[in-house]
């Protein structure tokens, strides 16, 4: 069978079934996000979701074919939290891209379960909110003056940085959450072990000492901003090439 006769299945390309009774796809998606935020992706199942909605798991299958489709829906719903700029200008493109990148990171940290879904190699999100964000970023790089053959690469480079660092942060914050400690408490408890391990590495000790009195969240924010600006510096340099 030719490849074009067997397309990749997606909830976005399958005809939507008529809504019946009171349960809707929107209710299912909202409840799934609440479950994911509270208990993580391991807890997401049609049975658990049905219990949360006080509905039989079989009734959910009228709206979503399987868990993979449900993940597609919830990921795109979360993408809808991003405020994608409607306009793009040559003078403000970098500030706009910075705001979008910062919002994408914040979205990922609000919903740590989404990080592995965004970071999967080869996974393409084609929901309306994800497409709107990608299109909005492309418009910014187009307004900046990037040639047609570089716009996609520029957006890909930017999102790879944001999703990469946010995925690491989300895993780190999830580990701390499981410990029952605050980030400050967790870092303070780790410090004696770090001091011992870095005894023969003065460069590491020097950098750590300079940040000892800074809140860990401020350090993460500063590190993200530094990396984002260096990525944008590199991309901006292409405009003069």
Taking the chain (241 residues) in runs of 10, the rounded mean pLDDT of each run is: 61 64 86 94 91 87 88 93 86 94 95 84 75 93 93 94 94 91 92 87 75 87 97 93 64
What's the pLDDT score for residue 195? 85
pTM: 0.83
CATH 1.10.357.10 residue window(s) in the chain = 93-180+211-240
Tell me the C-alpha distance between 102 and 142, whole Å.
Answer: 20
Tell me the C-alpha distance between 101 and 157, whole Å.
Answer: 11
Q: Note whether 49 and 35 are within 8 A (CB).
A: yes
CATH fold for the domain made of 93-180+211-240: Tetracycline Repressor; domain 2 (1.10.357)
The fourth-level CATH superfamily of domain 3-77 is Homeodomain-like (1.10.10.60)
What's the pLDDT score for residue 186? 92
What residues contact 126, with CB distance under 8 A and at least 6 apart?
Answer: 10, 12, 13
What residues contact 218, with CB distance under 8 A and at least 6 apart?
Answer: none
What's the pLDDT score for residue 20? 53
What's the pLDDT score for residue 206? 76
pLDDT in tens, 130-157: 999 999 999 999 999 999 889 999 999 9
CATH 1.10.10.60 residue window(s) in the chain = 3-77
């Amino acid at each position: 069978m030719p490849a074009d006769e067997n397309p990749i299945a997606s909830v976005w390309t399958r005809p939507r079934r008529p809504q019946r009774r009171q349960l809707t796809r929107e209710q299912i998606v909202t409840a799934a996000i609440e479950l994911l935020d509270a208990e993580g992706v391991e807890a997401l199942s049609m049975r658990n979701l049905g219990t949360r909605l006080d509905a039989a798991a079989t009734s959910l299958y009228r709206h979503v074919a399987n868990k993979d489709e449900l993940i597609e829906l919830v990921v795109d719903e979360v993408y809808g939290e991003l405020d994608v700029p409607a306009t793009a200008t040559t003078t403000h493109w970098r500030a706009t891209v910075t705001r979008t990148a910062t919002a994408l990171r914040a979205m990922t940290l609000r919903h740590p379960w989404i990080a592995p879904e965004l970071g999967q190699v080869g996974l393409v999100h084609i929901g309306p909110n994800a497409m709107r964000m990608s299109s909005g970023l492309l418009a910014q790089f187009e307004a900046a003056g990037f040639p047609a053959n570089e716009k996609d690469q520029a957006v890909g480079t930017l999102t790879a940085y944001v999703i990469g660092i946010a995925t690491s942060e989300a895993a780190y914050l999830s580990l701390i959450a499981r410990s029952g400690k605050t980030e400050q408490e967790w870092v303070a408890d780790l410090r004696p072990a770090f001091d011992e391990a870095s005894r023969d590495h003065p460069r590491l000790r020097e950098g750590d000492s300079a940040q000892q009195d800074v809140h860990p969240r401020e350090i993460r924010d500063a590190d993200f901003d530094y990396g984002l600006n260096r990525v944008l510096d590199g991309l901006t340099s292409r405009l003069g090439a």
